Chain A
Amino acid sequence: MLKEALNDKQVVLGSALILFMFCVAILAPIIATHDPCETNLSPEVKLQPPSREHLFGTDDLGRDLYSRMVYGARISLTVGLVAVAIMLLIGVVIGAIAGYFGGVVDTVIMRIVEAILCFPSIFLILMILAFLGPSIINVMVVIGLTSWPGVCRLVRAEFLSLRERDYVVAARALGASHRRIIFRHILPNALAPVFVSATLSVGSAILTESALSFLGLGVQIPTPSWGNILTTGRFYIESAWWMTLIPGLAILITVLSYNLVGEGLRAVLDPRLKR
C-alpha cells in the first residue's frame, strides 16, 4: 500500500508540500528575517507593500509580514495536528465501543453523535470558546471535542462488519478480553479508512482555526497565526492587499496538500475509484 501510495502523483505532491510547510515552521527562527512581534509605527515602515527588505510587506503595526507568516505556520500546523489527535482519540474509542458492543450502547452513542452533528459546528465551537476564553490550547481542544462524531461513525461502521469475522470469533473463543479484541484484533484492520479521514480532517481543522481567529475567538494577537493575520488584514483590505492575500493563500495551499494526500490515499485504498 505504501509503495502504491508513493507512486501516486497526488500523494507525492501533497506530501512534499506538507513537508515544506513543516520545514518552514521548524526553521522559523532561522529563516525569519525580523522579529515577528517587533513593531515600528513610523509611516515609512508600516503598511508597506512587499519589497526586498520586507518580502511580504509589513502590517499595520510595522511588523514584518514574512516573519509573521513563518512563525504563524507553527501555530496553524500544530493546531491541525493536535486537534485531529484529540478528535481521533475520542472518535476511535467511542466508535469502537459502539460498533463492538452494539445494542443499547450503540443506539445511545449514535443518538448523541447525531445530535452533535445537528449543531452548526462553528457556532458550537464559538459558544464553548466564548465561555472558556480563547487561547491556542482551548482552540485545539474545542475543535477536537466537537469534530469526533465523523470518525466515530466511520470506526463504528468498520467495527460492525469486522466483529463478525472468523478471526474475531476465534479470538473470543480463545478467551481474549474485550479490550484485547478491540485494540489488538479489530482496530488494526480498521485503521486504513480512519487514516484517510484523519488526513482530510487536518485540513478542515486548519480551516476551522483560521475561521475562529477571523471571528476573534481563535489564537490571540500578538501571537501570529495565519487566521489572525487575515483578521487584521481585513481592516486594511482596500490599501494593503498583501495582508489578506498572502495568509489566505498559505491556508489554501496547506489545506489543499492535506486533501491531496487524503484523497490520493483513499483512491489507493478503494480499488473502485481507480481509473
Chain B
Amino acid sequence: MHYSWLSILKNGLTGQKGWTPAWRDAAPKPAYDVIIVGGGGHGLATAYYLAKVHGIHNVAVIEKGYIGSGNAGRNTTIIRSNYLLPGNEPFYEWSMKLWEGLEQELNYNAMVSQRGVLNLFHSDAQRDAYARRGNAMRLAGVDSELLDRRQVRAMYPFLDFDNARFPVHGGLLQRRGGTARHDAVVWGYARAADRLGVDIIQNCEVTGFLREGDAIVGVETSRGPIRSAKVGLAVAGNSSRVAQKAGLRLPIESHVLQAFVSEGLKPLIDGVVTFGAGHFYISQSDKGGLVFGGDIDGYNSYAQRGNLPVVEDVAESGMALMPRIGRLRLLRMWGGIMDMSMDGSPIIDRTPVPGLYLNAGWCYGGFKATPASGWCFAHLLAKDEFHDVGGAYRLDRFRTGHLIDEKGVGAQPNLH
C-alpha cells in the first residue's frame, strides 16, 4: 500500500489495523531471470533497479537470515561523496544524487539527512591533502569547502580547540553529506522491489552453485535449487566464502569493524565530524544517540565482534576531540564483518565464471554506496556492460595495476 498523509490518518483512526506487510515473505520459485544472493542494502537495491530501470521483474533476492541482518544494520549510517580519486568520486556522487531523491522514489522515509560531513585536519600537510581532495571533488562537480579553524569553531564550538594534543587547524566540509536511517534503507528498497514483483526470500542459505559446464546456472539453497542464467553476489563480509563455492579466490580479507552508540541525548552534534588525528567519526541520530566508530580491529575475523584496544582507542579519540562527552555513556557496541579489499575500493564486475557476477569489497564504505552500488550492479547484470560511474571497479585492476587506493597504503587490507 502507498504511504501518504491519508493512509496515516486513516490508520490512526482505525487503530492501525489497516497496514499490510511491507514486503511479501516469498517462497522460492524454480527459476528466475536474475538471482541476487544477499538481502542487504546492496542486494535489495540491485533488485529494485533491475525491476525499475531495466524492466527485469522476475528477480529473486535470497537471504540467509532476515533482510538487513548484515552490515546494512551495523554501520554508522554516514553518507558522503567526498572521495579523492577519479575511480571513486563520480560513483559516490551518483550515489549521493540517488540518496537525495530516495524517499520520493521509494515512498519510504529513510531519513536521509544532509547535515554536513566535516573532516578535521590538524597539520599543514593534512590541510593540503584535504585541499587536494576538495579540489578533486569540485572537478567532479561536487560541493566541498575548506574551512579554517575559526569557521570550524563557529560550527562546533565544543571541540577541544585550546588544550589539544593535535590542535584543530580546520576542516573539509561537504554540506550535502550526512546520514540516513540504515534499516529504513533496507526496508524501503525491499518494499519497493517487492511492489515491482521481486521475490524476497528470507531464511534461505545458498549452499552451492548449479553448474552447466563452466557456467553457473543457478544456486543450491537450503530451500532447494533455484535456476537462473545470472547470479549476482552481494554478500559483503562473506564474499570470499560464497565465491569459494564457485572456485574463486578474491582480493579480499574479512575484518571486523566495531561501531558504537551512546545513550540518547538532547541535540549536541548537528552533522558528521571526523577526527584527523586518530580514527574517529561521530554523528547524532534523530533519536539522540551519538553514533560513532573508528578503525577496524585489524585482523581477519568472521566473529562480528571486536576487542578492547579499538574500543579504548575510539573513546580516547572521542574525548580528545570533545572533552565534554566523558560523562556520556556508551550504550552498545557491535561488530560487522567488512569485505576489506586489497586497495580499499570495491569490485562490481563479472567473474571468470560465466553467469556469476560480483559486487564486493566495500571495506567500511558500503552503506553510503548502497544506491549507486545497486544501480551499477543492476546495469551490469541487465546489460552485461559497465555503468559509467562504476566502471573502474574491475576485478582485473589488481592484475593491470589500475588500483584505486585512496589512502595509499597498498595491498594491506587492515590499513585501508
Indicate, yes or no, whether A interacts with B: no
| Chain B interface residues (CB < 8 Å from chain A) | none
